[in-house]
Structure 1
Amino acid sequence: MVRTLAVSDEEVAGLRTAAARRYDVALVLGAGDLPFDYLADLANTLDRPGVMVPGNHDQDLSGFSQRRGLWMRAGHPCDWPGPAGFENADLRVVDVATLRIAGLGGCLRYRPGPNQWSEAEQARRGRRLVRIARRARRKDGRAVDVLLTHAPPRHCGDREDGPHRGFECLHALVEALRPRLLVHGHIHPHGEPVPDRMLGSTRVVNVVGRKVVDV
């Protein structure tokens, strides 16, 4: 079992302080729409690695790669604009803290801006992520443990207004990858209880604010 601290969308007072160490987690998961300095402070305070995907209010992190410790974009050295201590899992499969994590950031497009996708665009991205995950599994036999997204699957705790509708295509993605856990943000509970949901054998967890999740 791996204990994770999952966060998204809303800063939690006091979480940047040493008091956060009481959670005794092995990993921090960021499901989007949090200040990058907040995420960096969490990784630094907890002294744990982080994995994140961008939300619709985050800046564009696409096109960055790391070679021999140097960040590159479009073939040129650059500064990494994302949170220090975090790996961007958007459209990638990463292995951290004994977990295999597949990521798909962004939400349904409702205005111009980065990290927003039409249903068809996100479906194409999802199919690409499945191919990446299957190639990784052929190499070592390991399946995806956690699917980390910003928006939820449609009809799985989402809303009816355009900005907060979930993606239909995430149902097919869950069926293909069969992760133990899907972690998402984007849907603010506004004081309402937010129960976990099940898609087949996958537990779907809304982590707006913060939630400690055992995998």
Structure 2
Amino acid sequence: MRIVAVADTHTYHHELVVPEGDVFVHAGDLCRRGQDLKELEDAADWIKDLPHRVKVVVAGNHDWMFVEEPGRARAILADRGIRYLEDSGTEIYGVTFWGSPWQPEFNAWAFNLPRGRPLAEKWALIPDTVDVLVTHGPPLGIGDANDYPGRHGCEDLLARVRQIRPKLHLFGHIHQAGGLWNYDGTTFANVTTWECERGPTVVRLEPSGAVGEVVPAARTR
């Protein structure tokens, strides 16, 4: 399975050159203001027209319509054959995926939760057997550094990932920290495209479940 993943397109998606693959994953922040359904419709039309057989979307902190008008927002994706994951999972060709949009509270964004118990309760929903985990935000200490002091990932997410050990964890949110890391049998990828400053990330899952070829995103500008 060849997975092509992006995040943080913020309505700049038409500028991306998207490689071929089996599954396309958008790890959140399709939109810019996020309160205009036309932004989502445009992004959804773009995803629909991509050649990948299966498309998966997780919302991000800019995607307010999934909070304010969840029924309409979900229908826009469903009508285009796109699988939306919000604390939910799907199986694709025998590979299990789970998606969640939450991140530690920062300013007045969508899908913000305080650190500690509120976030831990969301991560506890992740099943013990997941092959590919897709979250909008990163775990603590992995792909989570930006211009603000300190690290900005979620400690409780890291703890849950260490428990379940997915083969692959895809996320975005922190624009300055795109990249790939391998720890304890899990490949972590911050797949941000940062408004298309970077290209998509490509990961191949072998039939055994192991992560094979990985093509890190290149800068486009």
Provide the TM-score with structure 1 as the length reference: 0.73
**1:149 to 1:80, Cα distance in 2 relative to 1, 3 A:** closer
Alignment-mate amino acid for residue 172 of structure 1: A
Partner of 1:122: 119
**1:155 to 1:184, Cα distance in 2 relative to 1, 3 A:** same
Pairs within 5 Å for 1:151-170: 151-159=137-145, 161=148, 165-170=152-157
Instruction: Verify the 8 A CA contact 2:138 2:154 in the aligned structure 1.
Output: yes
Aligned-residue CA RMSD (Å)? 2.8
Pairs within 5 Å for 1:119-198: 119-120=115-116, 121-129=118-126, 133-134=127-128, 143-159=129-145, 161=148, 165-189=152-176, 194-198=178-182
**1:64 to 1:201, Cα distance in 2 relative to 1, 3 A:** farther
1:105 aligns with 2:101: yes
The runs of 5 or more residues in structure 2 that have no matched partner are 32-39, 194-199, 206-221
Q: Any idea what SS the aligned residue of 1:46 has?
A: coil
Pairs within 5 Å for 1:1-215: 2-10=1-9, 11-15=12-16, 20=18, 23-35=19-31, 36=40, 37-61=42-66, 80=74, 82-83=76-77, 84-120=80-116, 121-129=118-126, 133-134=127-128, 143-159=129-145, 161=148, 165-189=152-176, 194-209=178-193, 210-215=200-205
Q: Any idea what SS the aligned residue of 2:5 has?
A: strand
Q: Any idea what SS the aligned residue of 1:29 has?
A: strand
Q: Percent identity?
A: 26
The runs of 5 or more residues in structure 1 that have no matched partner are 66-72, 135-142
Instruction: Verify the 8 A CA contact 1:147 1:181 in the aligned structure 2.
Output: yes
Q: Any idea what SS the aligned residue of 2:66 has?
A: coil
Instruction: Verify the 8 A CA contact 1:6 1:212 in the aligned structure 2.
Output: yes
Residue 154 (structure 1) shift: 0.8
Residue 14 (structure 1) shift: 4.3
Provide the TM-score with structure 2 as the length reference: 0.72
**1:62 to 1:13, Cα distance in 2 relative to 1, 3 A:** closer
**1:50 to 1:179, Cα distance in 2 relative to 1, 3 A:** same
Residue 128 (structure 1) shift: 2.1
The CA deviation string for residues 49-107 of structure 1, in whole angstroms up to 9 with x for no partner, is 21121111112536999xxxxxxx5xxxx673553332222211211243211112132
Query: Paired residues, what number?
Result: 184
Alignment-mate amino acid for residue 47 of structure 2: L
